Structure 1
Amino acid sequence: MIVDAHNHVIPKSIVDLLSSNPEPFGVTTDNSSGAARMIHRDGFAYPLFDEFVEPAEKLRQLGQRGFDKAIISPSPTLFFYRIEGSRNAEFVRRVNEEVAAFAAVDPTRMRAMGTLPMQSPEASIAELDYLVNDLGIRSVMIGCHIDGVQLAAPQFRDVLRRAEELDVFILAHPYYFGSKPGLEDYYLTNLIGNPLDTAVMAAHLIFGGVMDELPELKLCLSHAGGFLPYQIGRLVHGWNVRREAKTTTASPKDLLRRFYFDTITHDSAALGYLIDFAGEQHVLLGTDLPFDMADVTPVSTLRGVKGLSEEAFALISGGNAMRLIGA
């Protein structure tokens, strides 16, 4: 079974809601070029592909690309952590219900992943309960930081603890926020900025004690863990020689292996290293579709890993994802 565990949607009703109410979200829809685009006041824009908004097109694309299932999540461009908490909580509830309805068009091929209004920890805990108890969803996607505040900050600990208690799988995803000096050119905001955000978040979760405190937390790092798996030796060395980094009795390498990772490396050799590092039970097939930075042939990338067993292929290509979301 081939399962895309990292696949995004923006249901049409959400597009309509944002277009008809540009404040406080700051999103408009532009059709002047003949193809719809969503434009955010933060300065970024992207094509509003039919695959984002139409279940039938999503299903057609899944079939065309050879996927049996997809775990569909709200686009990270719908993280509105800057707006007032109760307003965002209302919006997130609507998003979660619409993503659930999107997936319900064909529940044999699509499973829904929700999101949380993270700037309001109390509302996020309530939303976790609603997702699990009312919508039957045991997975969420949240940002790598919350309006610039790290996920490891104390105010978010109860949210992560509740996710652990409910056995909810978390996919942490970068998103555009503010300026990134030095990354303005060549699309480096995404090419380097996104994996950097993931690496910084995971380092804070490791050194901040979260992974020690919540040993059963199921948290997946987007884009193959960013830069961290490939520079973990540097963190271990710092942990050994620097007082500032000696915050945990466990090695950062051991704690990093507690995370899960998607396969989005765009390189079979890098993916092979990740699988060797994290273990075949901690890696999930992902694409990031329909964004332009997606790996549209993830099975080929996975098949290109030298020495990969059929058992490992089965786990990574679908078995791990279905286990982690409680399917």
Structure 2
Amino acid sequence: MVMSGIASATVIDVHAHVRLNATNGAAGRHGPEFGEDADGSPWYRVGNYKLVGVRHKASPFTDPALRLARMDKDGIGFQVLSPSPLTYFHHIDPAEAIAFCRKHNDACAELVRAYPDRLGGLAALPMQDPIAARDELQRAVVELGLWGAATGTEFSNPLHSEALDPLYRAFAELDVPLFLHPAPSGIDGPPGDPNLKRFDLDVIIGFAAQESIAVATLIFGGVFDRHPDLDIWISHGGGGTPMLAGRLAQAARKRPWASEAIRKDGAFEEALTKLWYDAHVTDPSALALLRKWVGDDRIVYGTNFAGWDQPEEGAHGEIAPAWAGNARRLLRKG
């Protein structure tokens, strides 16, 4: 029997994207929109980017009945919905991004209100305008009842920029977390490394690189020194962070730009445990390495639900009993 409700669920999935029919066309010329080619192949368009072969209509991404049935099949009691990385719209005109985020958040709030025992929701934010992002976070949490927000890792300001401090303060004051998840480069912004355009490497390797850069930037940039009550979780176990952690710690001790605080022995390693990481890492050896650096109490369960890399059986191996309690602590539902 699947235990539902955030308070009692034994499996809580915090890495589950949603695409909402109400947002079709909400970003103007950028879309989003979906349909089928003449041969029946489904597609999803965002700006000049067209994703072919992933079904959206009549799929768990868009149909809540299909989502709940798949959750039951996979033994997931509760799920936290976040915006699709294809629809962050962090590089388009701010007014268009604000309009899209408001539409998305209104629709997401309506969806999770209909299924309060199975679904919670995270807001989309217009990160090209940090003050507008702060205001939308406040509206989404206070007025709509969403549980935090999810954004990409790359936008006009780097993650350690002081321009983001008003937004980070709002997360801390509202007592809600931020989920960072990369988007493929070039959807609505800079094209990125052309080497990543082969073999879907922008998703397979590019995401891991963005996640690693995000972790390093937050720590080296002193974000948690300025905002000690801020909680951020990173998708895919922090990307390459577990493999690179020793090298990053050595850089913290030896490189000339490192602050005195991060130079101390063990300081970088301790800073790694201020972040949270989802366990969608594919291989048990990667999970073991993540555990070595951050311990089990900073890991939460995630699936990339119904995505290309979620196994048919629902999970990549282990689902630790502690992860549901961790999710409740992260989401302030414990």
Q: TM-score by structure 1 length?
A: 0.89
**SS of corresponding position for 2:149:** strand
Partner of 2:291: 275
1:154-190 alpha-carbon deviations (Å, 9 max, x no partner): 2112111210121111110100222323222222111
Distance 1:199 1:123 in 2: 27
Which segment is superposed worse, 281-290 or 243-252?
Answer: 243-252
Q: Does residue 31 in structure 1 map to residue 10 in structure 2?
A: no
| Displacement of 1:247 | 5.7
Moved over 4 A (4+): 295-300
Q: Does residue 130 in structure 1 map to residue 136 in structure 2?
A: no
Partner of 1:67: 76
| Displacement of 1:238 | 1.4
Q: Does residue 287 in structure 1 map to residue 303 in structure 2?
A: yes
Partner of 1:195: 208
Distance 2:68 2:101 in 1: 24
Partner of 1:183: 196
Distance of aligned partners of 1:22 and 1:126 in 2 relative to their CA distance in 1, 3 Å threshold: closer
What are the equivalent positions in structure 2 for 1:128-167 lying under 5 Å apart? 128-147=137-156, 149-167=157-175
Distance 1:14 1:199 in 2: 31
Q: Which amino acid aligns with 1:29?
A: F
Q: How many residues align?
A: 312
What are the equivalent positions in structure 2 for 1:207-226 lying under 5 Å apart? 207-226=220-239
Q: Which amino acid aligns with 1:288?
A: N
Q: Which amino acid aligns with 2:36?
A: N
Partner of 2:7: none
Distance of aligned partners of 1:112 and 1:27 in 2 relative to their CA distance in 1, 3 Å threshold: closer
Partner of 2:254: 241
**Percent of aligned positions that are identical:** 26
Q: Structure 1 regions of 5+ residues with no counterpart?
A: 304-312
Distance of aligned partners of 1:27 and 1:131 in 2 relative to their CA distance in 1, 3 Å threshold: closer
Distance of aligned partners of 1:320 and 1:296 in 2 relative to their CA distance in 1, 3 Å threshold: farther
**SS of corresponding position for 1:245:** coil
Distance 1:179 1:11 in 2: 27
Partner of 2:5: none
Asked whether the 8 Å contact 1:28–1:38 carries over to 2, the reply is yes
Q: Which amino acid aligns with 1:40?
A: V
- One of 8, 12, 15 as aligned partner of 1:6: 15
1:74-120 alpha-carbon deviations (Å, 9 max, x no partner): 11111111222133112101101111112222110111111211111
Q: Does residue 48 in structure 1 map to residue 61 in structure 2?
A: no
Asked whether the 8 Å contact 2:153–2:159 carries over to 1, the reply is yes
- One of 171, 193, 212 as aligned partner of 2:179: 171
**SS of corresponding position for 1:150:** coil
Partner of 1:86: 95
| Displacement of 1:53 | 0.9
| Displacement of 1:248 | 3.5
